[in-house]
Amino acid sequence: MFNLNPLTIVVRAIVLLVTIPVHEAAHAWTADRLGDPTARYRGRLTLNPMAHFDPMGAVAMILTGIGWARPVPINPMNFEDSKKGMAVSAAAGPVSNLMLAAASLIVTKIILYVSYLAGFGTVASTLYTVFYTMCTINISLAIFNLMPFPPFDGSRIFNYFLSDRLYFKIMEYEQQIFMVVFGLLVLGVFDAPLSFLNGIIFTLLDKLTFFVDVIFRFIF
């Protein structure tokens, strides 16, 4: 997990500046569309990385490839259905990661096909690394955020199926749960299951972006 050669650091920094803002802005945009303007009023409906920056989350991204930003403020009382609004707003983040992963994979495939014809030089190799890493990290972030533990997005989705009493009981221990999960992440406990799930999602996205392969094989 701590594969920190210079190129890895640079690529993860690029991913941090692109992926985290999209993820958080997706939360803010969805909540705003569902009737809660809180995030918009607080300047979080933006792709400016500094609006979402969390120092510890940024360091985690550089060290492990998985990070986070400051939570987007959402007031569930502004939703017509508070539990549904929270669940849908939470799901928007991981969905945005999967969309970024798919877009990155498309670019990765294009780079591979063009490089096959023109030669796989230093620029092409670097771009391939950036977009391939963008794809895999976004898949990891989507899976990681869907874990049903607070403060991850999956806990808000899971809450839709829980009673309010049980949900708020769990949320009392949100900070402790987060520290335990983060510690397990640093220790590499999640490496194997994340790798397994990453492989499944990557294969699915590869099949969904098959049209790139078809187009280039038809042309060349």
Q: Where in the sequence numbering do the catalytic residues fall?
A: 24
Residues comprising the chain, all counted: 220
Angle at 145 between CA 143 and CA 148, to 5 degrees: 100
Match 């500046």 to its residue by tokens. Answer: 17
d(CA 89, CA 153) in angstroms, rounded, equals 9
d(CA 164, CA 170) in angstroms, rounded, equals 10
Identify the sign of the CA torsion 119, 124, 125, 129. negative
Cβ contacts of 219 within 8 Å, gap of 6 or more: none
- Among 46, 27, 21, residue whose Cα is nearest residue 152: 27
DSSP 146: T
Identify the sign of the CA torsion 99, 100, 102, 103. positive
DSSP 188: T
Q: Are 137 and 15 within 8 A, CB to CB? A: yes
Tokens for 195? 């790798």
